[in-house]
Amino acid sequence: MDRGKVVRDRDIFEAFEEFGRYLDVDGDGIPYRTLPGSGMDPILYRGTGHNPKGVYSEKPEDYLYLMNRLKTKIDGARDHLPAPIVREESECEVGIIYLGSMENTIQEIDDMLEATGLKISQCRVRALPLHSGVEDFVRRHEHTIVLEINRDGQLYGILRKELPNDLVTKVHSVAYSDGMPPRARIYADQILSTLKEANQ
């Protein structure tokens, strides 16, 4: 199993010009570490309030460095996570982004919408942070619906924060939950209503 950037050998450890448990030496946001049982002494530091070497710190510049490193790490992970499952029409009219909880209903919703003459594409998100394929999907479609079985539109909120500003206006939320399993007709009608408003 690949455990990532683990130092397992004392010669390699001592070859580091400078070792810090939270020090990003190659710009990918992921520091090297040792693990218990790997043959090296484990290096254990506190999880918060530290500098790149793991020493306690309340300095704003240390906090800023660590927050920026975490952002780099998360952004760098996007395309190493599972890509969305995309079923796309050649005419990229309406895209629907959804999570796996809609998998059993999405095809029926798609059929109902296509019966009205719309061309519907689907994008099932499988991981957060969002894979770059999700942004590409939104960019290709005239309108994108974020379909969710919840009251608050959480995935929609995440998308709006992560997408570039020029794409935010193309994305619309259909979030609905009444405690019952999703019924295709309810969601299809809500999507049609949302598209009608978006086209006014």
- pTM of the full structure: 0.83
Compute the radius of gyration of the chain from its Cα atoms.
Answer: 23
Is the peptide bond prior to 182 cis by the omega test (within 30 degrees of 0)?
no
**Helix/strand/coil (H/E/C) assignment for every residue in 23-80:** CCCCCCCCCCECCCCCCCCCCCCCCCCECCCCCECCCHHHHHHHHHHHHHHHHHHHHH
pLDDT of residue 166: 96
pLDDT band at 47 (very low <50, low <70, confident <90, very high): low
pLDDT value for 18: 85
Nearest to 124 by CA among 115, 113, 114, 133: 133
Domains of the chain: 10-80 (no CATH), 85-198 (3.40.50.920)
Contacts of 109 (CB under 8 A, 6+ apart): 96, 102, 147, 184, 187, 188, 191
Q: What is the pLDDT of residues 107-153, one digit of tens each?
A: 999 999 999 999 999 999 999 999 999 999 999 999 999 999 998 99
pLDDT, mean of residues 94-118: 95
The model's confidence at residue 42, banded by pLDDT at 50, 70 and 90, is low
| Helical ranges in the chain per DSSP H | 10-15, 60-77, 103-114, 132-140, 154-162, 165-168, 184-198
Tokens 């530290």 map to which residue?
Answer: 50
Total Cβ atoms within 10 A of residue 1? 3
Confidence of residue 83 (pLDDT cuts 50, 70, 90): very high
Mean pLDDT of the chain: 91
